[in-house]
Chain A
Amino acid sequence: MDKTLRRGPERQLGVKNDTKSVFFININVNSLCVCVCVCVCVCVCVCGLQYDLSASTFSPDGRVFQVEYAMKAVENSSTAIGIRCKDGIVFGVEKLVLSKLYEEGSNKRIFNIDRHVGMAVAGLLADARSLAEVAREEASNFRSNYGHDIPLKHLSDRVAMYVHAYTLYSAVRPFGCSFILGSYNKDDGAQLYMVDPSGISYGYWGCAIGKAKQAAKTEIEKLQMREMTCRELVKEVAKIIYIVHDEVKDKAFELELSWVGEVTNGRHELVPKDIKEEAEKYAKDSLEEEDDSDEDNM
């Protein structure tokens, strides 16, 4: 049996891999929850009623509300985007700075999973950190067992399976984070996968997660990423983050940029300071141009 899956919900209950006992515990918790919540139910709004109290319950129209609520948690967080180009991947994260007292560069939202794999997250940061550890162990065990780097599709399938396991039981809650995995190697080229709280993973050329994901997706669709190189793409990613950042609601933010591709020899790294500054300058200048052109139009 696989080590990673064993660390999941069964362990936390102190129960061995015995589906029967988990099932009984689920039923007890459920009926308890139902009794308590019948009184509260009147005030609860449209969708949930008693179908949204645990992840082990379907609603009559076939939805698992807890998983959908987890996705709402992701939408409350600031935006992260990942774009694949012909020779690599670039990640950009809009990291909101809630207090001037924070040390610069703390609470990173881009993680290194393996030398050749990077991960950008959105949602509850603590959940994301524990998933980054899971992904790191998967990649490390794979290399130990099979002697070569883990292919990204396999890694994202494995982590997605782990995330999915937490959507099956009422004793645990689903993870409240989505993340984007990216890697580059000479034989398979650049790859980008996104995993959401329901445990689905898809491959992408460009994707966005977080509060401004719709606006970011619109901007990403305008790019011709298949023909771009990483150096060109870094500037575009910075520009997109600056465009979708809401100046009114959220004041200060830090831009986190990282890349992996031919330009870094297949290693996932934060973008060097000078290139990052050049990209931010390009982003700020493009924003000003757009503002100016808007004024002219008026």
Chain B
Amino acid sequence: MEKHYTDSKVKGVSTGTTILAAIFDGGVVIGSDSRASIGGEYVSSKTINKVIQVHDRIFCCMAGSLADAQAVIKSAKSHLSFHSVQMESPPLVIAAASILKELCYKNKDELQAGFLTAGWDGKKGPQVYVVSLGGMLISQQVTIGGSGSTYIYGYVDAKYKPNMTREECLQFATNALALAMGRDNVSGGVAHLVVITEKGVEHVVVPGDKLPRFNDE
């Protein structure tokens, strides 16, 4: 976490963040908070969207330096759209994640950005991939990231079940984000959630006052 604070002076705006993605029966939910801060002292934006669409059924969440993450996603988005046109079919989620991984790994000395990639494709259905800071790529059922994620590992481990319904998974994701935002000073604002299934994509925004409350408040 120290590296994150000293680097913010060099890199400017950075995201203290909570991001998560989870697979349910028939789709995947990906979500994040909406706070951007400088040095953990000043909230530069209360309503930033960290869930970016890279293709029709593929979304990414950014973690780390916002500038680096935005630059990488911009390049990956254009590369992915060209790839999809060449293949004459919607891209696989693993292809999107691999493109991000190549960028992160080849430029690991300059970049400080990590991603969660979640989406649906015709070959393997709903999938979640994590591209970490140095460029490691792994596939998981549920994953959390960002500075706020440290406070909810216990909650996620205890409460996540495979093959939940869409409503159960949405509730799980909202609760997890609310708990993280409640304890992490650099995560907050609204909860942005995106539900991706074969049929389509749905955005759910839960404003701060509608977030679930827990016993300590």
Contacts and interface: CB of A to CB of B under 8 A. Distances in A.
Interface residues of B, number: 14
Interface in B114-142: 123, 137
A255 B102 CA distance: 43
B94 interface: yes
Contact of A148 (B86, B95, B101, B137): B95
A151 B87 contact: yes
Contacts, number: 26
A146 B137 contact: no
Interface in B76-116: 83, 86-88, 92, 94-95, 97-99, 101-102
Contacts of B137: 147
A147 B97 contact: yes
A96 B175 CA distance: 72
Interface in A128-154: 144-148, 151, 153-154
B86 A146 contact: no
Interface of B: 83, 86-88, 92, 94-95, 97-99, 101-102, 123, 137
The interface size bin for chain A is under 10
A104 interface: no
A153 B87 CA distance: 8
B92 A148 contact: yes
Secondary structure type dominating chain B contacts: helix
Contacts of A146: 83, 92, 94-95, 98-99
B98 A154 contact: no
A264 to B, nearest CB: 21
Interface of A: 144-148, 151, 153-154, 187
Contact of A147 (B87, B88, B95): B95
8 contacts: A145-B99, A146-B94, A146-B99, A147-B92, A147-B94, A147-B97, A147-B101, A147-B137
B87 A148 contact: no
Contacts of A154: 86-87
A146 B123 CA distance: 14
A187 B98 contact: no
Nearest to B137: A147
A145 B98 contact: yes
A146 B95 CA distance: 4
Contacts of B98: 145-148
Contacts of A147: 92, 94-95, 97-98, 101, 137
Contacts of B102: 144-145
Residue with the greatest number of chain B CB neighbours at <10 A, chosen from A145, A147, A148, A154 = A147
List 9 A-B pairs, minimum CB-CB distance, nearest first.
Answer: A147-B98, A146-B95, A147-B94, A146-B98, A148-B94, A187-B123, A148-B92, A145-B102, A147-B95
